[in-house]
Each structure stands twice: as structure tokens, then as C-alpha cells.
Amino acid sequence: MSDEEDIEEPVQKVRSRRIFINNVDTYTGKNIAQYLAQCVVGASLEDAEEEGDDDAGSVKSAASRKEGAYRVIGTLKNPNGKPPTNITEIVNYNTREELLEKLLECDIIIYNINDDMDSIDEAVWSVSALHTEMEHFDGPKMFILLSSVLTWAKSKPLDPDDPEIPFTEDDYRRRKPHPNFKEHISAEKTVIKFGKTNKQKFQTYVVASGLTYGMGENIFHFLFKTAWLGEATALQCFGTGTNIVPTIHIKDLASVLQNILDGKPKTRYLVAVDDSQNSLEEIVRIVSTKGGTGKVEHISKEDALLIKDLKQSEFDSLLVNLRMEAMFVKESMSVRWVAETGMVDAIDSIIKEYKQTRGLLPMRACILGPPASGKSTIAAALCKQYKLHHITIKDVIDETLERLEQSAARLEQTSSGGAEDEEEDDGKAQEDSEFLEQIKEGRENNGGRFEDQHIIRFFRDKLKSMPCQNQGFVLDGFPKTYEQAKDLFALEDEDEGDDPRKINYDTSIMPEVVAALNAEDDFLKHRVMNLPEAVVQGTHNTEDGFLRRLQEYRSVNHVDDTVLNYFDELEIHPEHIDITDKTDIKHEAILEKITTMMGEARNYGPTPEEKEEMERVAAEARMKKEQEDREIRDRLEAEEAAIMKQRQEEWMERLEEVRKQEREVLEQQSIPLRNYLMKHVMPTLTDGLIQCCQVRPDDPVDYLAEFLFQQNPQVD
């Protein structure tokens, strides 16, 4: 390409175009919206012209992304939901007339009817309303209905004698829908019909998408989640599992839509599927192998319907049996395939996407410290809080020996000349039997103790197991020495030519957090001595056992090559935590410090049953707290009332005493006056009253007053 052509290229670019996508907070809507928001208008056409020069096209598109990129607006299924990144505007409307105004402002309208059945009616109304307003368009518009291949689910084979002939876009008029997808096919026909009136102004397309996967999963999420949790012994496959499931990666589906937006193909009905022809059993088996136990269990369709975590739409989709080929997509589009050959071939990257998108990353921790420092208690509490696997030396040894003995016993029971998988089992059983003999021989030569090399292998197998790789683990008191740590975390395929000064380690099993519990010997001895006899009995915490273990621990942790030094050299610096706080009986402060180091949990969180139990416990605790508060309040009120009563009684007693004293004082003070009255007043007053009674005057008071005035003795 000449310099002159490079200069002219920006002039030929189409202006930025506005896209409407419904429900951008759903799985399909979110991923398509984020993908298209990063695409430059016409970029897929440039990629097609370059014919495989993908890297150059990617750089060019990225460089011109800000100018000429699609601008995406959309609605939310959940009004309180969080919109995805790169969305220009979230459309909120109260009436459909308001929605129509927004649609008329857009160049492209994409309606996804797969994630939400309620969207079908709105999609049909939207294409009809736009068709009515076609004469008022300010430019050509495009309407794309994103439907499902389940509108083909009941289609008759093209050749009854050869049912493996795949359907293509050319056969879309022969399609027959699944009973639960009749509304989908009706919407498809409506969209195709409205696109035939004026193709220059209003183009309509229908894209029948295969079952989407990737980026956290949607339809296949039940399988991935069940495998990741590891609670079931085998991943369930519904029915015989021989049905062919047409699929497509969600990013590949978005790329197909990008090609339609840029290329405006004449074909109005397109099928978007990858090149895989995987059966349901193949999909279930690969998910179980790469993400779970590796085992598959077939259950009937009736039993599958009883699974409460499985939606009806997921059940219908997983049981579809269709062979489809996207001929137009393969021959006429420039799709940057993420998984062109399907889920089974790309399972490693898909599982990685699933874990990263949903934040299901393993958490790995190691708790070290002297005997009786509380390692096991703290590790168990962390495992319960974060839903991790508690890895102890005893459990690892017991589980490994039990597995090896079962495998060796199976070898004795199997007969020669089995199937291929049985031969593989026989080979594994033979290897396990030989390893078991090596372990027994090593113990005999080592005084009944396991050799370090065998213990290291036990631990590596355990940490490499799928449950530990999925959820994570907490190592409890192991490794104990520098050499054990070096052997345990070493890369198995490390090259001999690597720099010997550099410590290489296996990142898939290396702890992210290392906590070292510290305490003096006297504190530990005092703690063990105060343990109940029932707790100590049958453990290593007897007096002799504890002292022996403490001496062994101190002997390997006083030099410069301790296990803590190993982690320090890798810059995974252990957090030293003092445990001598006697008030922290339940290790709450220690747990809080370690959980701060580990951060938020990276799992699915509590199950509905656990949530219900947590709510019940919280409700009981709240009721108990309210009862205690009420009792405390009643007690305080009663105490206050008693105090008030006591104070009132004391006050009344004191008041009575004061009154008594006042009376006594008044009595004392009144004696002279009384004596004076008896001597000088009462005789005259008595004579006056006698005279008054004898005379009986009309006004006794005036008479008595006159008498007293006349008889009043003159006192100097």
C-alpha cells in the first residue's frame, strides 16, 4: 500500500455511527455492547481487504479508535443495574413514544431476544414503529434481531437418509421451532417482512445465534459452576448426551454483528455458529476434565428438570440436537475468531475467561508457627470464612494412602483384556501399587516415618488437585524446613540450564499470603498445660510429645535457612504475628489481621441455603440482643425505681424529723409567752367572759373588748 493511499484512507472512513442495544446489563447485551464500542466503523472491511494481516489491522483500528468508533446506547433490564463500560448513554423511558424518539436518533438498532423473553414484544413493536416512521428517517437505518438456533430445533433433516447434513442460511424457510421458541420465530418473520419495503432506507437482519459461551458463561454456567464447586462426584449429562449442540463464543458472535454493520450483506437471515459439531457429552466431559473431577454421570431428562439451579431455557438449549453450518459467515465475513473450532478445542482459554470474568480465582495461604500456637484453629477458621481447603499433614497422608490402597485393590480385581479406558485405569493402578510399595519400604528403612520425598509428592498431588486449584487452600504447618519448601514449590519441568541463583517456583501452588505465628516457649508450655485432659488425650500435645515437637521446631528455625527465609527470598514476605495476647482467646485479632492480608473472598459467596441460615442466625442474634437490651432496660428501670423509692422514704423520714424538731423548738419558744398569758391575760379574760355571760349584751364582742379595755392593767 503506497503512502498516497495511506493519506487518503482517513477520508474514506465512515462517520461514527450510533447503535442502540437493549438490555446492556444482560450477558449477551453487555458483551456485544462492550465489543462494538471498541470497534471502528468499517474496520472489518479493512481486515477483509488485508486478507489475514490481522496485526496491522488491529493496530490501525486501535490507533483510530477515538474517531469513527461506534457509539453504543442502550437500556437496562434491571433499572438499578450497573451499566457496562464504554456505553455512551443509558436510555430511560416511561412510554414507548419516548423510546421511539431514542431509536430514531440511532443508525443501528440491535434487539437481543435470547436473554429475556419479555423483550420479544418490545422488539416487534420497535421494528414496526420504525417501519411506520421510515419516511421521516434522516438517513438509512439498520435493524438486527438477535435470535436463537432453537427456532430450528424441530426442523426435519434435509435428507432423511443422511441426517448429518448440516442446515445453512439457505434453509431458513424450512425451519421449525422448539415449542418454547414459537414467539422467537414469529418475531423473526416480522423483522424480515418489514425489511423488504424500502431496503435503501430500512434494512433488517435476523441472526440465529448458536448457544453462546465464554466470558463468564451463560447457558453453560450451570455446568461450569458445578464443576468448579467440586461438590458433586461427577458432572451431570442430561439424557444420552449424543445430541449435537451448535455453539459460538460470545466475542465471535459480536464479531459477526460487526461484519453485518460494516458490510450490509444482501443475505437477510444469517446463522452464527462455529465449526464445532460437539455433542453434549463431549462438552460436559471436557468441562469436567478441565474444571472438575473428570467424571461424567448420565441422568434422565426428567431428573434434570428437577434441578432447581437449572433454568427451563438452559434445559431446552442444552438438549437441542442440530447440525448447522454458517456458510455465509465463513465465506463472506472477516471474523476474528476466538474459538473457531468450538468450545472443546478452546477449553483452556474458556475456563480461564470464566474464572477471571467471575472473579473465581484461588486463594492460597500458609500458616506457620511453633506447636500449640493455634495454627490449626486459625487455618480452619480461614477455610470456613473463605471456603478453602484445609491442608494438614495428617489429612494429606491419610487421603493419599487410602487412594493408593483403593487403586491397588482395584488392580487385583480387574481382569485382563478390558476396554481402552480400563487399560488406562489399569496402568494408573499399577503405578499406584508400585508407589505404595515404595512408601512402605521407605517407612521400614526410616524407623516408621515417611520419607520427605514421599510427603512432598503427597502434598504436590493434593495442591495440584482440581479443588485446590479452583477454590484454593490454607497450608497448616507445612512446609517445615527450607528444603521441604524448595522441593514442594519447585517447577517440575525446570531446565537444568537455568540460573542456579534464581529460585523458580510453581505459581499455581505457591501461597500468596504467609503468616508466621510467634510466641515464647514458656507461653506455649503454659497454654498446653492448661488444656483440658479430654482435649490433650490422643494428640501430640502430651507433655513428652509437645516438648519433643517444640524442640524439633526450634532446632530447624534458628539458622538462616528457615522456611521463612525461603519465602523472603521470593519476596513473599511472611507476616509475623504475636499470639501472646491472653485476652484474645478466640484469635479474633489474629484472624482480622490475616483476612486483611488476604482481602475479599474470590468465590460464589454463600449459597441460598447458607444465606437463609445466616439470616436466621442473624435474626436470632438480633432477637436475643433485643431481649437482652429489654432485660437490661427493665432491670435499670427497676433499680432506678427502687432507688427513687428509697430516696423518697429517706426524704420523708428526714422531713418528719425536721418537723418534729420544729415542733420542739416552737414548744420551747412558746413557754414564756404561755406563762405570761396565764399570769396576766387569762384571769382578766376569764372575768370578762363570765361578765359577758351574765349580762348577755347585744354585741358580746364589743362588750368583751370594752371590759378588757377598762380592766387592762397598766404595765410600765
Q: If DSSP states are collapsed to H, E and C, what string results for 625-680?
A: HHHHHHHHHHHHHHHHHHHHHHHHHHHHHHHHHHHHHHHHHHHHHHHHHHHHHHHH
Per the domain annotation, does 6 fall within a domain? no
The residue type of 74 is: G
Please indicate, yes or no, whether residues 635 and 555 belong to a single structural domain of this protein.
Answer: no
Tell me the pLDDT band of 536, cut-offs 50, 70 and 90: low
Residue 111 in contact with residue 119, Cβ under 8 Å?
yes
pLDDT at position 501, please?
A: 55
For residue 57, is pLDDT > 60?
A: no
What pLDDT sits at residue 713?
63
The residue with greater pLDDT, 428 or 540, is: 428
What are the cell numbers at 571? 519476596
| 88 domain residue, yes or no | yes
* pLDDT for position 47: 65
Using alpha carbons only, what angle is made at residue 497 by residues 492 and 498, rounded to the nearest 5 degrees?
70
Q: Using 50, 70 and 90 to split pLDDT, how confident is the model at 48? A: low
Q: How far apart are CA 459 and CA 354, in angstroms?
A: 27
Omega prior to 479 cis, within 30 of 0: yes
Per-residue pLDDT reduced to its tens digit, 107-159: 999 999 998 889 999 999 999 999 999 999 999 999 999 999 999 999 999 99
Structural domain contains residue 129: yes
- Give the C-alpha separation, 382 to 509, whole Å: 18
* Listed residue (299, 318, 298, 322) closest to 310, CA to CA: 318
- Residue 121 sits in the same domain as residue 257: yes
> Are residues 385 and 441 both part of a single domain?
yes
Same domain, 263 and 401: no
Whether residue 600 has pLDDT greater than 50: yes
- Which domain-ending residue is among 598, 628, 651? 598
| Concatenated DSSP letters of 387-412 | T-EEE-HHHHHHHHHHHHHHHHHHHH
Average pLDDT in the 413-442 region?
70
Nearest to 335 by CA among 412, 398, 251: 251
Q: Is residue 4 part of a domain?
A: no
Q: Is residue 716 part of a domain?
A: no
Model pLDDT, residue 595? 95
CA distance 424 to 357: 35
Interstrand relation of 141-148 and 202-209 (parallel, antiparallel or unpaired):
parallel
Residue 386 forms part of a structural domain: yes
The answer to whether the beta carbons of residues 169 and 327 sit under 8 Å apart is yes
- Under the banding of pLDDT at 50, 70 and 90, the label for residue 584 is confident
Q: What is the C-alpha to C-alpha distance for residues 601 and 8, in angstroms, rounded to an integer?
A: 53
Mark 563-576 as b/e (b = at least 16 C-beta within 10 Å): bbebbeeeebebee
Using 50, 70 and 90 to split pLDDT, how confident is the model at 716?
A: very low
345 and 375 within one domain: no
Share of the chain above pLDDT 90, in %: 63
pLDDT value at residue 420: 46
User: Which of the residue ranges 211-220, 257-266, 379-388, 445-454 would you say has the lowest mean pLDDT?
Assistant: 445-454
**Confidence band of 80 (pLDDT split at 50, 70, 90):** confident
Q: Is the pLDDT of residue 684 over 90?
A: no
Dihedral-angle region of residue 696 (phi above 0 means left; psi in -120 to 50 means alpha; beta otherwise): left
- Long-range contacts of range 298-306, CB-CB < 8 Å, 24 or more positions apart? 298/236, 298/237, 298/238, 298/239, 298/240, 298/241, 299/236, 299/237, 299/238, 300/238, 300/239, 301/238, 301/239, 304/236, 304/238, 304/239
Give the pLDDT score at 414.
63
pLDDT over threshold 50, residue 58: no
Query: Which of 565, 580, 598 corresponds to the end of one domain?
Result: 598
39: closest CA among 69, 71, 73, 9?
69
Q: What are phi and psi of 457, to 5 degrees?
A: -65, -40
Same structural domain, 578 and 661: no
Asked if residue 398 and residue 297 are part of one domain, the reply reads: no
Pairwise CA distance, residues 431 & 452, whole Å: 20
Who wins on pLDDT, 201 or 714?
201
Residue 597 reports pLDDT greater than 60: yes
Inform me whether the pLDDT recorded for 549 exceeds 90: no
| Cell reading at 319 | 438438549
Q: Work out the burial of residue 143: count CB atoms within 10 Å of its CB; fewer than 13 is exposed, 13-18 middle, 19 or more buried.
A: buried
How many distinct structural domains can be found in the chain?
3
Residue 8 falls inside a structural domain: no
342 and 401 assigned to the same domain: no
Cell numbers representing residue 110 in the block: 440491535
pLDDT at 425: 61
349, 396: one domain: no
The DSSP line for 282-329 is HHHHHHHHHHS-S-EEEE-HHHHHT-TTS-HHHHHHHT----B--HHH
Q: Interior CA angle at 57 toward 53 and 62, to 5°?
A: 155
Range 618-634 average pLDDT = 92
pLDDT of residue 64: 39
Tell me what percent of the residues of the chain surpass a pLDDT of 70.
90
Mean predicted lDDT score pLDDT of the chain: 87
pLDDT in tens, 173-205: 999 999 999 999 999 999 999 999 998 999 999
Residue 157 pLDDT? 92
pLDDT tens by residue, 261-318: 999 999 999 999 999 999 999 999 999 999 999 999 999 999 998 998 898 999 999 9
Supply the pLDDT for residue 540: 64
Owning domain of residue 182? 13-358
* Secondary structure of 83-141 in HEC code, one letter for each residue: CCCCCCEECCCCCHHHHHHHHHCCCEEEEECCCCCCHHHHHHHHHHHHHHCHHHCCCCE
Which of 567, 598, 629 is at the close of a domain? Answer: 598
pLDDT value at residue 491: 87
Lowest-confidence pick of 5-19, 161-175, 207-221, 427-441: 5-19
pTM of the full structure: 0.80
Nearest to 25 by CA among 79, 72, 71, 70: 79
Distances (CA, A) of 466 to 268, 291, 462, 505, 681: 46, 7, 9, 19, 121
Residues 34 and 179 in one domain: yes
List the end-to-end C-alpha distance of the chain, in Å, as a whole number. 149
Looking at per-residue pLDDT, the higher value among 547 and 364 belongs to 364
Judgement on whether residues 625 and 477 belong to the same structural domain of the protein: no
* pLDDT-derived band at 88, boundaries 50, 70, 90: very high
Grid cell digits, residue 490: 519447585
Q: What single DSSP character describes residue 67?
A: S
Which of 34-38, 237-241, 309-313 has the least mean pLDDT?
309-313
Q: Which residue, 130, 133, 145, 141, is CA-closest to 187?
A: 145
Contact 244, 277 (CB under 8 A): yes
Given a cut of 80, whether residue 532 has pLDDT beyond it is no
Per the structure block, which three cell numbers stand in for 528? Answer: 498446653
Q: Name the one residue in this structure whose C-alpha cell is 514476605.
A: 573
Query: What's residue 254's pLDDT?
Result: 97
Domain containing residue 282: CATH number: 3.40.50.720
Edge-to-edge order in the sheet of strand 89-90: 89-90, 71-74, 18-21, 108-112, 141-148, 202-209, 269-272
pLDDT of residue 673: 84
Q: What is the CATH number of the domain that holds 483?
A: 3.40.50.300
Q: Looking at the structure, do residues 531 and 665 belong to the same domain, yes or no?
A: no
pLDDT per residue as tens digits for the range 360-403: 999 999 999 999 899 999 999 999 999 999 999 999 999 999 99
The DSSP bridge partners found for residue 506 are none
* Per-residue pLDDT at 15: 67
Q: What is the pLDDT of residue 687?
A: 86
- Would 603 be classed as within a structural domain? no
Q: At what angle do helices 250-263 and 27-37 cross, to 10 degrees?
A: 50
423 pLDDT more than 60: no
Q: What is the pLDDT of residue 417?
A: 47
Q: Which of 101, 104, 111 is nearest to 135 (CA)?
A: 104
How far is 65 from 240, CA to CA, in rounded Å? Answer: 48
